[in-house]
Amino acid sequence: MRRNLLLLFLSTAILLGLSMTAFAGSLLTFTGVKGTNDGGVYTGIYYGTLNGGPQQNFMCDDYQDHIGFGESWTVNTFNIENLAGGAFGGVTFGTSGIVSSGMSQLQAYAEALNIAKGLLNSPGTGDPQASVDSFMIWKLLNNSVPVPGDISSAVSSGLAAAGGWWTSTCDPSLSSCLAGLSDVAIYVPTSWPPGDGRPQEFLGLTPTPEPVSMILMGTFLSLAGGLMGKKKRAS
């Protein structure tokens, strides 16, 4: 009986692990934009799907690369605690373009995620703050991004406030600061169609477990209950 339960647990754990690691290579499809723009580029909310699921809200954190409607590419999904542990390696944009020479990659992404999460949860229609937020995020990860004059002052003051948030929240307790960003994720492109340039990196809300994961866990529990019932009847 114990051997059967052990085999059942191991096989289910393997399948569950495969389903979770499959999310590490998710297919992100870009489906549209909210329509807010400034400086000749779309800002604010981008729309897309993961693995053909429901449409989700995203924010672009990569000013230099370009995408087109309907394009798809493979992404790995990270949260800020993965970055703190060094899991990103060389797949992110690095620290060379960050807004300040004294700012770490971790701080830049943490500030960017903290800016993004408000708009991702409550995207306003044509909200001018969306343009400010987008250029703030782009400047955090690439200091060479040109900021339009009409929002330059707002972006500068917003970045100062973001730095103040890091100092007041993350410097005293980095672990609680990062835990507070667990509801947002970074979607890092890993592969794309030949001939296309690198697609953009997105910030989005943390994905929920895929249905197959929940089904497998439910299957394990029901089968385990069945085996225990059989043992009881046999005795």
- Give a yes or no: residue 6 inside a domain: no
Instruction: Give the model's pLDDT for residue 228.
Output: 45
pLDDT (0 to 100) of residue 13: 42
Q: Can you list the positions of beta strands (E) in 16-159?
A: 26-33, 37-38, 41-42, 45-50, 56-60, 72-78
At residue 191, the pLDDT reads 82
Taken as a whole, the chain contains a residue count of 235
Write out pLDDT tens, residues 126-140. 678 899 999 999 999
Q: How many domains does the chain have?
A: 1
Residue type, 227: L
The single-letter code of the amino acid at 110 is: A
Query: Measured between alpha carbons, how far is 126 from 43 in angstroms, rounded to an integer?
Result: 10
What per-residue confidence (pLDDT) applies to 44?
A: 86
Using CA atoms, how far apart are residues 148 and 117, in angstroms rounded to an integer? 23
Looking at residue 5, its pLDDT comes to 43
Averages of pLDDT over each 10 residues, the chain, 235 residues: 45 40 74 91 93 94 88 90 61 53 82 92 77 93 90 96 95 93 91 79 80 45 47 43
- Pair of tokens at residue 64: 């230099």
- Residue 23 DSSP label: G
| Residue 1 falls inside a structural domain | no
| 224 found inside a domain | no
Residues contacting residue 18 through CB under 8 Å, at least 6 positions apart: none
Question: Six-digit token pair at 107?
Answer: 């701080």
Q: What is the pLDDT of residue 202?
A: 93
Task: Give residue-wise pLDDT tens across range 137-194.
Answer: 999 988 889 999 999 999 999 999 999 999 999 999 999 999 999 999 999 888 887 7
What pTM does this model have? 0.76
What pLDDT sits at residue 98? 63
80 located within any domain:
yes
| β-strands 26-33, 72-78 pairing | antiparallel
With respect to residue 58, please indicate whether it lies within any of the assigned structural domains: yes
Domain hosting residue 57, numbered range:
23-212
Do the domain assignments include residue 16?
no
Residue 217 lies inside a defined structural domain of this protein: no
Structural domain contains residue 11: no
Sign of CA dihedral 169, 76, 142, 204: negative
